[in-house]
Every structure is written in structure tokens, then in C-alpha cells.
């Protein structure tokens, strides 16, 4: 199946650049006014775009974002109104799709990433980050926990780094994210596309069958652990988001 040059979505864009280093699909989180928050609509469209890319005749997928931020995490307004039972499950589905997609996924991280957005970055096979941006697991400060995203994050990060980052909720630099294993490399923002193109050029040397089999090998343990713990993680996330303490904390944050 061939993907048209541009597919219209509301909060996600899917396209195939005309002259890539290797044929690839680019999926762009495109809700800049909400800082690409992980609303149910965005998660649904992201999952649909990943499914389409999986069946397209492309060698790789690039996950990017528009606006000033890459992703601000959960959509707190939606969480307060609707709870997180459905969204937590859908986020888990998206993370699993990224890990199991039979094509390499490269994250192009141009702006700040918070909470659930870090799960997206961690689930990608290669993550190239602008060097001036920050990351933060803010959940504990909102009476929450990075439950669902931990299934993708913990296999990437060193245990000590994860403990510090999860418990303090403090922002950390792109350089720290790279040292801790969360991202692959950091470059100045002006060089971000050049670095992503270099990664894609490297993937061009791989045969599609070889790339798919190698990715399956690399992510086998992560996916096995994911499937064992996902139901508990989704239930915990929904429970915490619905608690009085978390609701009060989210309301205070949104009132700022």
C-alpha cells in the first residue's frame, strides 16, 4: 500500500518527503497550541498514522512535532473532565506500536519534552535531540507516577538516573538524557535535520527484512516485560489520575 504524499489529520500529520536519504514516512505531532499534549484524539491519530506507515513501502519512520514543544505529556484538561482509563490504555497501545513496528523509528526532538512525551521518545529506536532543550518526569509532583511510560523508559535509562529523574521531577538537560541512555545523540537545533538525515542514510544500508528482524531482536525483552505489566500500569495510571490529590494538583497547575 502506498501512502499519498500528504494525509490530512486534525492533530497529527503524515507525509513522505520528496527527496529523503531513504524512503521514509514522517509523522508529526501537530497540536502546537496544546504543546502537543497527549489527548485521546492525538493518540488515536498517532496510532492510525503508525499503522499506515507500517504498511507503506518506506524503510523508516521519523517522529517529529510542530510548534515550540515536542510534547507536554498528558492532556490535563481532558484528564480532569474524562479521567484517564481510556487514554492510559491508548498511550500504552501507541508505545507498543512504536516498539513493535517492523521498521526503525527515529525521534526528531526539537523542543521540550515532559512526562508522557518522554515515553514516545523512549519507544523510538533512535532519538536525536536538540541540545538546548530539557526533559522532565513531572508526574510525582502532581501526585501521579510515570506508570505506563515506565514500560518504555526503564529499559533505556540507567536505574540510578531513572530513580533521580522520576522521584524529583526536576528538569534535566539533553546532554543528561543522552548520558542516561534516554536519547541517542544531541546536536544544535540548526543541525537537527542534518543529523536525522545521517541516521536515515545509515538505515539505507540495511535490508528491510534485516532491519525488521534486528529490531524484533532488540525489543524482544522490552515487549515481553511490557505485555506482562501493561494492565497493572494502565490501572495504576487511571487510579492515580482519578484521585483527589492528583485532581487538586492538576487544577492548581492549570489555574496558573
Instruction: List active site positions.
Output: 139
Longest CA–CA span in the chain (Å) reads 53
Pairing of strands 105-109, 126-130: parallel
Nearest partner of 139 among 222, 45, 76, 89, judged by Cα: 76
Rg (CA), the chain: 17
Nearest partner of 84 among 31, 145, 128, judged by Cα: 145
CA dihedral (197, 183, 103, 63) in degrees, to 10, reads -70
Total Cβ atoms within 10 A of residue 75 = 24
Distance of CA 254 to the CA centre of its chain: 23
Amino acid at each position: 500500500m502506498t501512502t499519498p504524499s500528504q494525509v490530512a489529520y486534525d492533530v497529527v500529520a503524515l507525509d513522505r518527503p520528496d527527496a529523503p536519504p531513504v524512503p521514509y514516512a514522517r509523522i508529526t505531532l501537530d497540536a502546537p497550541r496544546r504543546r502537543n499534549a497527549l489527548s485521546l484524539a492525538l493518540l488515536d491519530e498517532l496510532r492510525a498514522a503508525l499503522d499506515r506507515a507500517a504498511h507503506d513501502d518506506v524503510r523508516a519512520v521519523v517522529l517529529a512535532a510542530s510548534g515550540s514543544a515536542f510534547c507536554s505529556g498528558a492532556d490535563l484538561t481532558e484528564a480532569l473532565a474524562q479521567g484517564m482509563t481510556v487514554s492510559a490504555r491508548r498511550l500504552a497501545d501507541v508505545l507498543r506500536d512504536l516498539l513493535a513496528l517492523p521498521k526503525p523509528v527515529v525521534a526528531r526532538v526539537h523542543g521540550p519534552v515532559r512526562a508522557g512525551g518522554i515515553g514516545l521518545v523512549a519507544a523510538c529506536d533512535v532519538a536525536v535531540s536538540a541540545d538546548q532543550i530539557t526533559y522532565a518526569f513531572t508526574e510525582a509532583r502532581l501526585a501521579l507516577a510515570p506508570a505506563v511510560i515506565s514500560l518504555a523508559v526503564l529499559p533505556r535509562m540507567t536505574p540510578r538516573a531513572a530513580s533521580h529523574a522520576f522521584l524529583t521531577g526536576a528538569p534535566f538537560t539533553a546532554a543528561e538524557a543522552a548520558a542516561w541512555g534516554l536519547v541517542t545523540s544531541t546536536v544544535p537545533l540548526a543541525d537537527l535535520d542534518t543529523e536525522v538525515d545521517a541516521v536515515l542514510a545509515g538505515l539505507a544500508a540495511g535490508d528491510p527484512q534485516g532491519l525488521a528482524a534486528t529490531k524484533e531482536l532488540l525489543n524482544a525483552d522490552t515487549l515481553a516485560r511490557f505485555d506482562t505489566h501493561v494492565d497493572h500500569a494502565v490501572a495504576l495510571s487511571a487510579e492515580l489520575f482519578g484521585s483527589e490529590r492528583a485532581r487538586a494538583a492538576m487544577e492548581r497547575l492549570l489555574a496558573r
